[in-house]
């Protein structure tokens, strides 16, 4: 690679601007942004006009550009740009978790066939170096579980509404103003964004490529004051927690659900936009990583770290996937859960395998027990229907 890297940047939103700032204020590492391709011609940008283009081919067809940094919103447009860049022998850095989760296999093959590098540390948990930790440190160890808080927006909303009594609308507005939320915050609050991140981590932790449609995601938008009351009575906090876990039959299950968190859990004090990842290895035991999971500068710093890694010729090896020894994927697992409901027919519909606690009140009821994840998936729409009538949380 040439001495001074030449970057073609797609997108100049929150993360693009963060990268620009971090790049211009880093003392140790130098790279030039040669061109920035953006969509909206009428937006004012703190960039020299000579840098701006509205034509993707100005980057893709420029032989001087070594690295394409893709930081746009639309996953399908991003897939086209990233694929074309890889086919043209350019290295790619992206922070686009939806693009990756939807197209992991194709992108894996493209970077391999074209002998280029595709890096995406910023796509999962912002500034936490979780992908490289899984790739480099845990590349040989069999992992038991990777779980945590992978979404800054929902953690910010839960912190502000539950701990600080802000309204949901105000907390979401703050998360948007601070640049944590996706352009469409449904992806955050309904748990799609952390699901995409869990799918990316499942590849590096277990060598598995899983389709997003096969993974259950329930977000924080079903939560009600009665769930918060239950949490405060028991001394719990509520967090949105993806889980990727190896089961006794050696298969791996993946799901995203809100969870009641005890004070003894590492995640209890992970608040605001912070993310936390707990990695459990067969021999190494438990590791806990915490850092800013969203925001312009922390995410920009993660992109810069990938660009710097590229300058040293770094590539993911995808060892666990490439060795084709990955365990199978399953949704056939019992989970310990709390279900809030308001009519007996709900229990006939969402059948628990085992009930250990039952509460019947005037306005709502709940049970605690075990339910098969497959049955939760079958009943996802039913649980989400008539928002706030029902909620399901892990325990
Ligand atoms: N919307 C995402 C979040 C941004 O809140 O975590 C970082 O991926």
Q: Residues with catalytic annotation?
A: 197
Determine the pLDDT at residue 1.
57
Determine the pLDDT at residue 391.
96
CA of 81: how far to CAs of 15, 214, 283, in Å? 17, 26, 41
Instruction: Please state, as a whole number, how many other Cβ atoms lie within 10 Å of the Cβ of residue 359.
Output: 13
148 lines ligand 1 (CB under 6 A): no
Determine the pLDDT at residue 230.
95
Give the residue-averaged pLDDT of 280-284: 97
Determine the pLDDT at residue 55.
98
Q: Which atom of ligand 1 is nearest to the CA of 293?
A: 6
Paired sense of beta strands 5-10 and 31-37, if any: parallel
Domains of the chain, CATH where assigned: 5-130+296-322 (3.40.50.720), 136-291+327-394 (3.30.360.10)
Whether 2 has a pLDDT exceeding 60, the answer reads: no
Whether 3 has a pLDDT exceeding 70, the answer reads: no
182 lines ligand 1 (CB under 6 A): yes
- Going by pLDDT thresholds of 50, 70 and 90, the confidence category of residue 232 is very high
Which residue owns the Cα nearest ligand 1 atom 8? 294
Give the residue-averaged pLDDT of 370-394: 94
Which residue owns the Cα nearest ligand 1 atom 7? 294
188 lines ligand 1 (CB under 6 A): yes
Give the residue-averaged pLDDT of 68-95: 98
Q: Are 123 and 95 in contact (CB under 8 A)?
A: yes
Query: pLDDT tens digit string along 179-217?
Result: 999 989 999 999 999 999 999 999 999 999 999 999 999
191 lines ligand 1 (CB under 6 A): no
242 lines ligand 1 (CB under 6 A): no
Q: Which atom of ligand 1 is nearest to the CA of 175?
A: 5
Query: pLDDT tens digit string along 286-331?
Result: 999 999 999 999 999 999 999 999 999 999 999 999 998 889 999 9
Determine the pLDDT at residue 277.
98
Q: Are 339 and 309 in contact (CB under 8 A)?
A: no
Mean pLDDT of the chain: 96
Nearest to 123 by CA among 147, 149, 99: 99
Q: How many residues does the chain have?
A: 395
Q: Which atom of ligand 1 is nearest to the CA of 299?
A: 7
């Amino acid at each position: 690679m040439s001495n001074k890297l030449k970057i073609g940047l797609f997108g100049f939103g929150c993360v693009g601007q963060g990268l620009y700032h971090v790049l211009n204020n880093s003392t140790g590492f130098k790279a030039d942004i040669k061109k920035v391709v953006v969509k909206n011609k009428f937006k004012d940008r703190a960039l020299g006009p000579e840098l701006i283009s509205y034509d993707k081919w100005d980057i893709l067809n420029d032989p001087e550009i070594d690295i394409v940094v893709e930081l746009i919103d639309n996953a399908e447009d991003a897939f086209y740009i990233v694929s074309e860049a890889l086919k043209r022998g350019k290295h790619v850095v992206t922070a686009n978790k939806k693009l990756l989760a939807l197209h992991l296999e194709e992108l894996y093959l493209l970077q391999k066939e074209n002998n280029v590098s595709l890096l995406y540390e910023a796509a999962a948990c912002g500034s936490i170096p979780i992908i490289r930790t899984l790739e480099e440190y845990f590349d040989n160890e069999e992992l038991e579980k990777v779980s945590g808080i992978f979404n800054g927006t929902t953690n910010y909303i839960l912190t502000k509404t539950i701990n600080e009594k802000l309204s949901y609308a105000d907390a979401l507005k703050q998360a948007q103003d601070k640049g944590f939320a996706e352009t469409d915050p449904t992806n955050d609050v309904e748990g799609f964004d952390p699901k995409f991140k869990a799918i990316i981590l499942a590849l590096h932790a277990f060598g598995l490529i899983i389709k997003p449609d096969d993974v259950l995601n329930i977000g924080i938008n079903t939560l009600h004051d009665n769930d918060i009351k239950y949490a405060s009575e028991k001394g719990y906090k509520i967090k949105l927690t993806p889980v990727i876990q190896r089961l006794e039959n050696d298969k791996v299950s993946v799901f995203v659900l809100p969870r009641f968190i005890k004070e003894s859990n590492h995640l209890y004090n992970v608040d605001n936009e912070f993310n936390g990842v707990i990695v459990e290895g067969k021999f190494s035991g438990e590791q806990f990583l915490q850092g800013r999971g969203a925001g312009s500068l922390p995410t920009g710093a993660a992109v810069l770290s990938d660009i710097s890694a590229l300058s040293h010729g770094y590539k993911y090896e995808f060892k666990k996937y490439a060795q084709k020894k990955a365990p199978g994927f399953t949704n056939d697992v019992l989970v310990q859960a709390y279900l809030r409901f308001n009519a007996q027919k709900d229990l006939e519909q969402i059948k628990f395998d085992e009930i250990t606690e039952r509460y019947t009140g005037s306005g709502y009821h709940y049970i605690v027990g075990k339910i098969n994840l497959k049955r939760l998936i079958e009943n996802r729409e039913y649980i989400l229907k008539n928002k706030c009538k029902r909620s399901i949380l892990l325990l």
